[in-house]
Amino acid sequence: MEEFKPMTAASVQALLEDAGAQTMARDGRSESYGSPREFSFEVKGAFANGMGLHVVARQFNYRDPWEAEGRVNDLVDVSLLRDGGYSPLPKGYPFFQETDMEEGVDDARLKEIIAAVRDLNPKIYLLQELTGG
């Protein structure tokens, strides 16, 4: 059986803060089915290099009792932010290629994305524009 790690607003916020990002988080859907928001939680993180991530857990996954307790979020959608807007990553990365959102991201992949965005030198965008890449 494939191992999954449930994510919460607090756990995603901690991942981003541990990587050096300034963060904001809010819960959306509550335990009540009548809640009007369309997401379970969202977290935004801004890094010193001007890049940012917007992480949204859109819905709970329901697990059987032997897998986990009730409703969990083990997959999230991640959008890349640059200069206040959504952006793809420069060529050469395994994610955000010609898109500004990665959907269905698990905990391990989220950690990879956070590390890549944190360590990115934004000047690579200009370099690729100048070289036609």
- For residue 120, what pLDDT band results from cuts at 50, 70 and 90? very high
- Partners of residue 86 on adjacent β-strands: 81
DSSP code of 88?
P
Sign of CA dihedral 95, 43, 57, 60: positive
- For residue 36, what pLDDT band results from cuts at 50, 70 and 90? very low
Rounded CA separation 49/60 (Å): 32
pLDDT in tens, 47-82: 999 999 999 987 655 555 444 454 557 789 999 999
Question: What is the pTM assigned to this prediction?
Answer: 0.81
pLDDT at 46 (0 to 100) = 96
